[in-house]
């Protein structure tokens, strides 16, 4: 679909397209209440509680005052609605500020000052230096005589370096006065969110040009939110406005991610709901039977002789209302609140602040912190993530001569310096390609120094290295380049730029040497993108050996080449290139095809080798996280050997004899199939000496494997603990994440660049590094950190604590609701199974909202172990990965505890106060008091580290309980008049409380003592060591139950040994296609010996892809 934009025509586009009003608001003043209520009631649990609240309005069946349910329900909805309203109000203020900004536009040939929201498609907008671009514009003119301007796109893509934008060739030479009157039409695609691409055409109407079509690209645009820099003024025509700009189309709420804990809570909620229905049906039948038999014999029970048709439903519905509190109404709000606090803890963590750049950690997603503690696979980019992305030119090979091999720095190699000084032709050409085959912008500082603004760190390193070798890129004025070499000024005119793409893996420029008039093609790219196109007869063996040698050293390599073009050849090709650039459909593919017709018969000049150092702390971080049982996959676009060397240096894989690499390669389906089968066979073999086996695969073989042998590759993913995937594209990265997720693994993807965004968004948890490639990854991620080493603390400290706290909070919420509900059920057996409530409405309303919520909310401060201990013993993360703290087994324990405590409270309260000893209201208050006291001691028992705030919350909550009830006891109309005063004055009440606490907590304490003393877990051992002040040197191996691989891949019909070793497999010797690589001697890592992450009761099913 296309849109046609008529330049400087106020009426043509006014009715067709939206104005420039930005609106990120979710609500309006009129639709807030109905829309918010609709959203809240779209959740099943809220619908359930609304149904219960509505049923309580039926006076015939409600056992309590409807306020006991309506009160908490309205309170919880009000809290959620207030949060939504506050967030939306802040969005409104932000929109208002942007919409009311003053801008200059041309209306009927006259410059006018208007608000940004009034800009229409087709208007000409004028910008001054440092102005923010108010909408998407096609550039028409600038203050620069060559039609160039500079923009800062940090707000759009996170990249801080300035970018060049240029006017279309059709607008070249138009006077400033005529820009007000310019007329024409732009043919462009419908609005989209791709900020890297804009395929359009422009036709200017006479007298400006005679209807010639001029292609437009992203370089001819100024996008909304960018800033005009180093340019006095610029003007452009509005093509996309309002929410239809590329930035506006990129906005939106990402799909919510469901954590493993949330999924388990949903399952437990479903189980409780089923249990509740069963209880209601049983008690309902029993109640009706008792009514028809025993009740009619009692003189004080008066039932009518003829009841209406719904009489049989009354008692079951009463029990439904009575048992509705089994599902805690406050659990959603409580979890949202504590998860928000988890995110704030990450934001406030000063130990995760990058001191070099001042970059703090940030949690953009507040809902998934507990998933950090259950991560099983980390998929990481290499450049800028594991490495520093600070490129340093180290070595090069020019015409078969190696430079920098002796001292490790080619810039200090005397032989190279002499060749530069003598003006050796090959060296000069090599340096020329380094200096001008790029998109770098030279900028002169106030001190007179030349600084380079580069979008790529590789280009920055090459241009700076060329400058140090006396090939200085001095200036760039539109298409005119100026180079200073050995005191001489060389000028070149850039005729065409053949841009780099991930498919082509190379970039080229066509330049005209202004000194000789020759037209030259300069190219640089990956070895597989340059060497196959070398001219016939050129020996590239030395170049290939140099590439391999440098890759073995972990250096990044680029091959440089050139070719002299004949003028008629260039002219003919230029016509095709222009036509390809004018196509609106599949322009990128057409351009690549045309580029291929020029980039052949190249004379390869040599190879550059750039060092990208590891970030500080990367090896230690990976080693620690591997001990925690986390598997690592490296996904990179670099060469295989470079990736392997980086993997070795950062403890990604182990050297011989503990480490082994298996290579999956091939260019055809048959070769890849054979290689994959042999690697799989190797991975299935078990020996007494486990090995750290990793597989290596490149992008080409990966594409074939995923297309034709997906099932085998999925099995390999299950069996493999480490993988290195080289030369992979962004889409392949996302595919690999999806494969691991399909096997029900919890995945974390971490990267720093725009090419990592898809992988980050696909993973269960996305982590972005605020790096030199900008903030695109950080903005798209759930969490952003300044350095890779902070990942260790993010997972082991924040992730583990969040999981532990959420597991306790969620199960405790069910426990306190079940406790009060069981007491109600027991009371029904001595009240004629009539569905009568033991507790009054005020007590029930306050129970969930006030009496029991405050103590548990401060559990967000609880730490079972100190941070230092957790970091020292990462193996204990297994308890989180395996879901040991929140599963049906642990929930059954809390269920049993609530049942036991209900029996204790009910039995002691009934014995002390029932029948003729007191009023029913007093009995209910005694039972409620017993519940509050028991829960205070339960929270105290489950708390591992006490703070003043926790003591105040636990014991102060008891004071608040008595204070509230004394207040209601003083109100005659409350239904509790004088009750608490009478009870507190009786010694029997306090003796009852003592008996309830003693009988309820005694067995719990005994069980806990037995477990800690005779069957301690690894965590218990560490807790005891912390209390005694003695260090634990080793915990030994934490052996989880074996994961059944047969069950994992049963849909794949693959027979595997049942008791395979969970981690390491040896390499088959003499395997022809499974390449064996020896890495020399080295100290093996202490790996966490398990591939299983969950007990056998939760066997995962790998979905058949």
3-state secondary structure of 511: strand
Residue 1034 is predicted with a pLDDT of 58
How is residue 740 annotated by DSSP? H
CB 628 within 8 A of CB 875: yes
Q: Which residues of 467-490 are buried (b: 16+ CB within 10 A; e: fewer)?
A: bebbbbbbbbebbebbbbbeeeeb
CA distance 1033 to 753: 40
Q: Strands, DSSP E only, in 673-813?
A: 692-698, 722-726, 747-751, 765-769, 783-785
CA distance 1021 to 1032: 9
Residue 1087 is predicted with a pLDDT of 29
Apex CA 893: angle with CA 889 and CA 894, to 5°? 120
CB 165 within 8 A of CB 171: no
Confidence label for 949 from pLDDT (cuts 50, 70 and 90): confident
CA distance 526 to 561: 11
Residue 1101 is predicted with a pLDDT of 39
Q: In sequence order, which residues have a C-beta less than 8 Å from that of residue 30 and are 6 or more positions away?
A: none
Tokens encoding 96: 């208002």
Tokens encoding 1075: 């390449």
Q: What is the mean pLDDT of the chain?
A: 82
CA distance 800 to 876: 9
Distance of CA 96 to the CA centre of its chain: 30
Instruction: Report CA-CA distances (Å) from 595 to 109, 198, 506, 600.
Output: 42, 19, 11, 9
Instruction: Report CA-CA distances (Å) from 131 to 138, 168, 216, 231, 1081.
Output: 16, 21, 23, 10, 60
Mean pLDDT of 265-290: 87
Positions annotated as catalytic residues are 381
**Is pLDDT at 122 greater than 50 in this prediction?**
yes
Residue 793 is predicted with a pLDDT of 94
Give 938: exposed, middle or buried? Use CB within 10 Å, 0-12, 13-18, 19+.
buried
CA distance 214 to 1022: 72
Q: For residue 509, report the phi and psi dihedrals to the nearest 5 degrees.
A: -130, 145
Higher pLDDT, 1094 or 988: 988
**Is pLDDT at 1096 greater than 50 in this prediction?**
no
**Is pLDDT at 1090 greater than 50 in this prediction?**
no
CA distance 482 to 468: 16
**Is pLDDT at 172 greater than 50 in this prediction?**
yes
**Is pLDDT at 1040 greater than 50 in this prediction?**
no
CB 957 within 8 A of CB 854: yes
CB 659 within 8 A of CB 1079: yes
Instruction: Tell me the sheet residues that pair with 489.
Output: 484
Residue 1103 is predicted with a pLDDT of 40
Confidence label for 1051 from pLDDT (cuts 50, 70 and 90): very low
CB 874 within 8 A of CB 628: yes
Give 863: exposed, middle or buried? Use CB within 10 Å, 0-12, 13-18, 19+.
middle
Residue 975 is predicted with a pLDDT of 72
CA distance 1024 to 911: 41
Q: In sequence order, which residues have a C-beta less than 8 Å from that of residue 329 and are 6 or more positions away?
A: 49, 69, 72, 73, 76, 848
3-state secondary structure of 580: helix
CA distance 690 to 1062: 9
Confidence label for 754 from pLDDT (cuts 50, 70 and 90): confident
CA distance 802 to 340: 11
CA distance 488 to 471: 10
**Is pLDDT at 379 greater than 80 in this prediction?**
yes
**Is pLDDT at 997 greater than 90 in this prediction?**
yes
Q: Which of these ranges, 88-97, 464-473, 983-992, has the smallest mean pLDDT?
A: 88-97
- Which among 582, 518, 556 has a CA at the least distance from the CA of 646? 556
264-267 LR contacts (CB < 8 Å, sep 24+): 264/883, 264/886, 264/887, 265/331, 265/335, 265/810, 265/886
CB 826 within 8 A of CB 906: yes
Confidence label for 1074 from pLDDT (cuts 50, 70 and 90): very low
What is the Cα Rg of the chain in Å?
36
Give 491: exposed, middle or buried? Use CB within 10 Å, 0-12, 13-18, 19+.
middle
CB 278 within 8 A of CB 254: no
Mean pLDDT of 803-814: 93
Residue 657 is predicted with a pLDDT of 62
Residue 692 is predicted with a pLDDT of 76
**Is pLDDT at 98 greater than 50 in this prediction?**
yes
* Three-state secondary structure string covering 967-1024: HHHCCHHHCCCCHHHHHHCCHHHHHHHHHHHHHHHHHHHHHHHHHHHHCCCHHHHHHH
Most confident range (mean pLDDT) of 80-89, 397-406, 969-978 is 397-406
pLDDT in tens, 320-360: 888 888 888 778 878 888 888 999 999 999 999 988 888 89
Distance between first and last Cα of the chain: 34
Confidence label for 1072 from pLDDT (cuts 50, 70 and 90): very low
CA distance 222 to 214: 17
Confidence label for 917 from pLDDT (cuts 50, 70 and 90): low
Percentages of the chain per state (helix, strand, coil), in multiples of 5: 50, 20, 35
Distance of CA 790 to the CA centre of its chain: 15
Using the Cα atoms of residue 8, residue 12, residue 14 and residue 16 in order, give the sign of their dihedral.
negative
**Is pLDDT at 729 greater than 70 in this prediction?**
yes
**Is pLDDT at 3 greater than 80 in this prediction?**
yes
**Is pLDDT at 304 greater than 80 in this prediction?**
no
Q: Strands, DSSP E only, in 56-135?
A: 102-107, 110-115, 124-128
Tokens encoding 517: 């008039």
CA distance 709 to 703: 10
Residue 773 is predicted with a pLDDT of 58
Confidence label for 1085 from pLDDT (cuts 50, 70 and 90): very low
Mean pLDDT of 79-90: 82
**Is pLDDT at 482 greater than 60 in this prediction?**
yes
Residue 785 is predicted with a pLDDT of 92
CA distance 392 to 400: 22
Higher pLDDT, 709 or 1082: 709
Give 562: exposed, middle or buried? Use CB within 10 Å, 0-12, 13-18, 19+.
buried
Mean pLDDT of 680-706: 78
Residue 298 is predicted with a pLDDT of 63
pLDDT in tens, 439-453: 888 888 778 788 887
CB 526 within 8 A of CB 501: no
- Which among 199, 236, 204 has a CA at the least distance from the CA of 215? 199
pLDDT in tens, 195-251: 878 888 888 887 766 557 888 888 899 998 888 988 899 999 999 998 888 888 776
Mean pLDDT of 1024-1047: 58
Instruction: Tell me the sheet residues that pair with 379.
Output: 633, 749
**Is pLDDT at 143 greater than 60 in this prediction?**
yes
Query: Considering the chain, what percentage of its residues have pLDDT values greater than 70?
Result: 87
**Is pLDDT at 943 greater than 50 in this prediction?**
yes
Confidence label for 902 from pLDDT (cuts 50, 70 and 90): very high
């Amino acid at each position: 679909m296309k849109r046609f934009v008529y330049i400087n025509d106020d009426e043509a586009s006014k009715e067709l397209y939206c104005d420039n009003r930005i609106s990120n608001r979710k609500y309006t003043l009129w639709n807030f209440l109905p829309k918010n209520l609709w959203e809240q009631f779209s959740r099943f649990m809220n619908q359930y509680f609304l149904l219960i609240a509505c049923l309580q309005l039926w006076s015939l069946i409600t056992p309590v005052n409807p306020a006991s349910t309506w009160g908490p329900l309205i309170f919880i909805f009000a809290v959620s609605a207030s949060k939504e309203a506050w967030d939306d109000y802040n969005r409104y203020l932000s929109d208002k500020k942007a919409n009311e900004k003053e801008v200059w536009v041309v209306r009927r040939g006259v410059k006018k000052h208007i608000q940004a929201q009034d800009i229409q498609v087709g208007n000409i907008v004028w910008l001054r230096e440092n102005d923010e671009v108010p909408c998407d514009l096609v550039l028409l003119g600038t203050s620069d005589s060559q039609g160039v301007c500079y923009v800062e796109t940090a707000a759009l893509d996170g990249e801080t370096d300035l970018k060049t934008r240029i006017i279309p060739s059709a607008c070249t030479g138009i006077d400033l006065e005529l820009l007000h009157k310019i007329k024409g039409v732009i043919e462009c695609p419908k609005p989209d969110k791709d900020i890297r691409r804009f395929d359009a055409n422009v036709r200017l109407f006479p007298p400006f040009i005679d209807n010639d079509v001029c292609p437009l690209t992203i370089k001819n645009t100024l996008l909304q939110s960018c800033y005009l820099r180093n340019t006095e003024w610029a003007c452009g025509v509005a093509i996309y406005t309002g929410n239809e700009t590329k930035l506006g189309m990129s906005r939106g709420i990402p799909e919510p991610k469901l954590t493993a804990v949330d999924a388990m809570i949903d399952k437990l909620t479903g189980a409780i709901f089923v249990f509740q229905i069963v209880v209601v049906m049983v008690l309902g039948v029993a109640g009706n039977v008792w009514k028809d038999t025993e009740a009619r014999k009692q003189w004080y029970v008066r039932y009518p002789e003829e009841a209406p048709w719904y009489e049989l439903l009354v008692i079951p519905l009463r029990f439904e209302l009575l048992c509705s509190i089994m599902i805690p109404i406050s659990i959603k709000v409580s979890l949202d609140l504590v998860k928000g606090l988890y995110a704030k803890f990450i934001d406030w963590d000063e130990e995760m602040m990058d001191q070099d750049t001042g970059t703090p950690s940030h949690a953009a997603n507040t809902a998934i912190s507990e998933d950090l503690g259950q991560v099983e696979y980390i998929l990481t980019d290499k450049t800028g993530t594991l490495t520093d992305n600070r490129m340093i030119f180290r070595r090069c090979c020019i015409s078969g001569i190696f430079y920098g091999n002796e001292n490790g720095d080619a810039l200090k190699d005397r032989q190279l310096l002499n060749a530069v000084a003598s003006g050796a032709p090959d060296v000069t050409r090599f340096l020329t390609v380094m200096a001008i085959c790029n998109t770098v912008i030279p900028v002169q500082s106030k001190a007179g120094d030349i600084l380079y603004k580069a979008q790529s760190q590789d280009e920055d390193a090459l241009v700076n290295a060329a400058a140090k070798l006396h090939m200085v890129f001095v200036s760039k004025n539109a298409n005119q380049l100026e180079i200073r070499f050995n005191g001489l000024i060389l000028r070149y005119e850039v005729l065409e730029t053949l841009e780099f793409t991930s498919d082509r893996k190379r970039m080229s420029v066509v330049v005209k040497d202004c000194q000789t008039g020759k037209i030259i093609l300069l190219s640089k790219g990956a070895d597989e993108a340059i060497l196959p196109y070398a001219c016939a007869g050129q020996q590239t063996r030395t170049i290939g050996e140099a590439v391999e040698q440098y890759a073995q050293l972990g250096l990044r390599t680029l091959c440089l080449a050139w070719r002299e073009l004949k003028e008629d050849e260039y002219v003919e090709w230029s016509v095709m290139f222009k036509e390809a650039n004018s196509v609106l459909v599949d322009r990128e593919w057409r351009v690549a095809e045309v580029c291929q017709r020029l980039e052949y018969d190249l004379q390869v000049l040599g190879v550059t080798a750039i060092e990208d150092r590891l970030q500080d702390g990367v090896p230690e971080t990976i080693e620690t996280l591997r001990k925690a049982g986390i598997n690592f996959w490296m996904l990179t676009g670099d060469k295989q050997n470079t990736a392997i060397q980086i993997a070795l240096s950062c403890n990604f894989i182990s050297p011989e004899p503990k480490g082994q690499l298996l290579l999956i390669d091939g260019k055809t389906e048959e070769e890849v199939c054979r290689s994959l089968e042999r690697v799989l066979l190797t991975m299935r073999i078990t020996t007494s000496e486990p090995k750290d086996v990793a597989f290596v695969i490149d992008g080409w073989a990966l594409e074939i494997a995923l297309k034709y042998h997906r099932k085998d590759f999925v099995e390999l993913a299950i069996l493999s603990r480490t993988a290195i995937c080289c030369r992979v594209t962004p889409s392949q990265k996302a595919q690999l994440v999806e494969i691991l997720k399909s096997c029900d693994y919890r995945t974390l993807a971490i990267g720093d660049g725009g090419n990592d965004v898809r992988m980050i968004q696909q993973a269960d948890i996305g982590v972005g590094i605020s790096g030199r490639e900008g903030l695109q990854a950080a903005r798209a991620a759930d969490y952003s950190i300044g350095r890779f080493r902070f990942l260790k603390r993010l997972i082991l400290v924040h992730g583990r604590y969040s999981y532990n706290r959420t597991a306790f909070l969620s199960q405790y919420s069910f426990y306190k609701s079940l406790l009060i509900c069981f007491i109600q059920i027991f009371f029904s057996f001595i009240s004629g199974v009539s569905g009568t409530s033991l507790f009054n409405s005020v007590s029930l309303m306050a129970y969930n909202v006030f009496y029991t919520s405050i103590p548990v909310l401060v559990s967000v401060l609880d730490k079972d172990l100190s941070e230092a201990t957790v970091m020292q013993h990462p193996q204990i993360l297994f308890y989180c990965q395996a879901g040991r703290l929140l599963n049906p087994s642990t929930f059954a324990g809390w269920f049993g505890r609530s049942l036991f405590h209900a029996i204790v409270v009910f039995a002691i309260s009934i014995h002390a106060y029932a029948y003729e000893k007191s009023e029913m209201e007093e009995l209910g208050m005694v039972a409620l008091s017993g519940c509050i006291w028991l829960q205070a001691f339960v929270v105290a028992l489950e708390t591992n580290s006490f703070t003043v705030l926790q003591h105040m919350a636990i014991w102060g909550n008891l004071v608040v309980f008595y204070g509230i009830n004394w207040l209601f006891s003083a109100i005659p109309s409350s239904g509790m008049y004088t009750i608490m005063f009478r009870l507190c004055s009786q010694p029997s009440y306090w003796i009852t409380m003592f008996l309830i606490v003693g009988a309820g907590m005694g067995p719990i304490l005994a069980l806990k003592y037995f477990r800690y003393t005779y069957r301690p877990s690894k965590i218990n051992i560490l807790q005891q060591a912390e209390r005694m002040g003695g260090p634990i040197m080793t915990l030994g191996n934490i052996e989880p139950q074996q994961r059944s691989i047969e069950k994992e891949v049963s849909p794949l019909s693959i027979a595997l040994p049942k008791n395979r070793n969970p981690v390491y497999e040896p390499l088959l010797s003499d395997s022809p296609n499974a390449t064996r690589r020896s890495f020399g001697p080295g100290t093996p890592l202490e790996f966490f010996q398990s591939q299983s992450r969950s007990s056998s009761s939760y066997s995962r099913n790998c979905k058949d892809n």
